[in-house]
Each structure stands twice: as structure tokens, then as C-alpha cells.
Amino acid sequence: MKTTYPFELKPLPYAYDALEPFIDKETMHLHHDKHHQAYVNNLNKALENYPELHNKTLLELLQNLKKLPEEIQTAVRNNGGGVFNHNLFFDGMTPDSSKMPVGNLAKAIDRAFGSFENFKETFKKAALGRFGSGWAWLVSDENGDVKIVSTANQDVPLNLTVNPILEIDVWEHAYYLKYQNRRAEYIDNWFNVIDWNKAEYIYNNPLI
């Protein structure tokens, strides 16, 4: 996988139907092959005429949005964010979910929320409460403490002290085919496919 321009669509780490019945094959095709691909294409289009940016990684671009040429800041924010978010989202799911956090992350979740059940409830509230399109996230700080945040559109909670671990896409394109307007049901089902081993890995090896 190239980590700089031209960016490529990251293949799914499992089959399109692997997450059924929780997330259906049709949604995965639409979401990955069409929506995610469009973010990749539009990010590349935005960067096409800026060769000085062609050696930057996606993280470097997103962490330095304000330093980019003004005319492409919005396109990189939306489409670069779209690529980052969907890479993490699709990689963060698995048909072989442990259904429960593991290792150090499990301890950090207990420390912050008292119990996994309480974490789930709080996370669900954040994902339901995101008005319109966006994401709910589990992030950690430099002390290893975790918290839940939500972002609008394709914004990424990136700064020097926040490490994104896990996120759910609550854009309607992520669930409308199967769940229509029932976002709560989609969120409940997503909990069955979380890759907690991957989340534990990212918690121990922060991206930021």
C-alpha cells in the first residue's frame, strides 16, 4: 500500500459478506467500493497539481491542514479525512470479534467508564447524538486514558495528544440499506463486529 500520493483504496481485510448478519454485503460493496473509493479519488484530484505535497503521508496532510494551500484545505479535510476514517473503520471490524475489549485497553475502559456495559451505553449515546453525518470515536491521550468523542462530517480528532483507536461511521450511507433510519439498531449490531485485538494494538502503539 502506498502511504503517499497517489493514495490507493485499501482492500477490505475480510470478505464483503463476512460481517453478516450485522452488516450486509450490499452495504459493504456500496460503502467500500463507491463511497470510500470516491474519497480516495477526490483526495488525489485535490493534490494532483501540488507536487510539493506528493511526499506527504495522509497523517501529515491532516495534521497540517492549516499549512496547505488555502484552495485545497477543504477538499483535503473532507476527502483526506474520509480516507483516514474509512481505513480505520473497515480495519476496525472483524467477523471473529471477541465482543469484549482485551488487554490494556480493557483496563483503560474500566478505569474511565467503570464497566464495559457503561462504556457501550456512553458510546452509543455519542453515536446517536451526532446530528447529521459524522463519527463517534474512542480515543486515548498521552497518559493512556480513554474517552469518547464525536466529530461531524469527515473530521478526524487529530492533535498531538489524541490517539484515535476505534470509530463508528454514522453517515446514513453506512447503514441505510439494511437499517433505514434505525441508527440505534445499527450501532447495537456494530458492537458485534468490533476488532478488539486491533483496537488493543492501536492503544498500545498510538498512531499519533
Q: Which is nearer to Mn ion, 108 or 156 (CB)?
A: 156
Q: Which is nearer to Mn ion, 169 or 200 (CB)?
A: 169
* Helical (H) or strand (E) element with 28: helix 25-28
Q: In angstroms, what is the minimal distance from the CB of 20 to Mn ion?
A: 18
Q: Which is nearer to Mn ion, 169 or 195 (CB)?
A: 169
Q: In angstroms, what is the minimal distance from the CB of 142 to Mn ion?
A: 29
Buried b (16+ CB within 10 A) or exposed e, 114-140: eeeeebeebbbebbeebeeebbbbbbb
Three cell numbers, residue 164: 484515535
67: exposed, middle or buried (Cβ count in 10 Å: 0-12, 13-18, 19+):
exposed
- Which range in 11-19, 52-60, 170-178, 196-204 contacts Mn ion by CB under 5 A? 170-178
Q: Which is nearer to Mn ion, 167 or 200 (CB)?
A: 167
Reported for 6-15, long-range contacts at CB under 8 A and 24+ positions apart, including other chains, are 6/44, 7/40, 7/43, 7/44, 7/58, 7/83, 8/40, 9/36, 9/37, 9/40, 10/87, 10/90, 10/91, 12/90, 13/90, 13/91, 13/94, 14/93, 14/94, 14/95
Q: In angstroms, what is the minimal distance from the CB of 31 to Mn ion?
A: 6
Q: Which is nearer to Mn ion, 18 or 38 (CB)?
A: 38
Q: In angstroms, what is the minimal distance from the CB of 173 to Mn ion?
A: 5
List 90, 113, 123, 171, residue binding Mn ion (CB under 5 A):
171
Q: Answer yes or no whether residue 167 interacts with Mn ion by CB under 5 A.
A: no
List 167, 169, 195, 200, residue binding Mn ion (CB under 5 A):
169
Chain residues 64-103 in contact with Mn ion, contact rule CB under 5 A: none
Tell me which residues touch Mn ion (CB under 5 A).
169, 171, 174
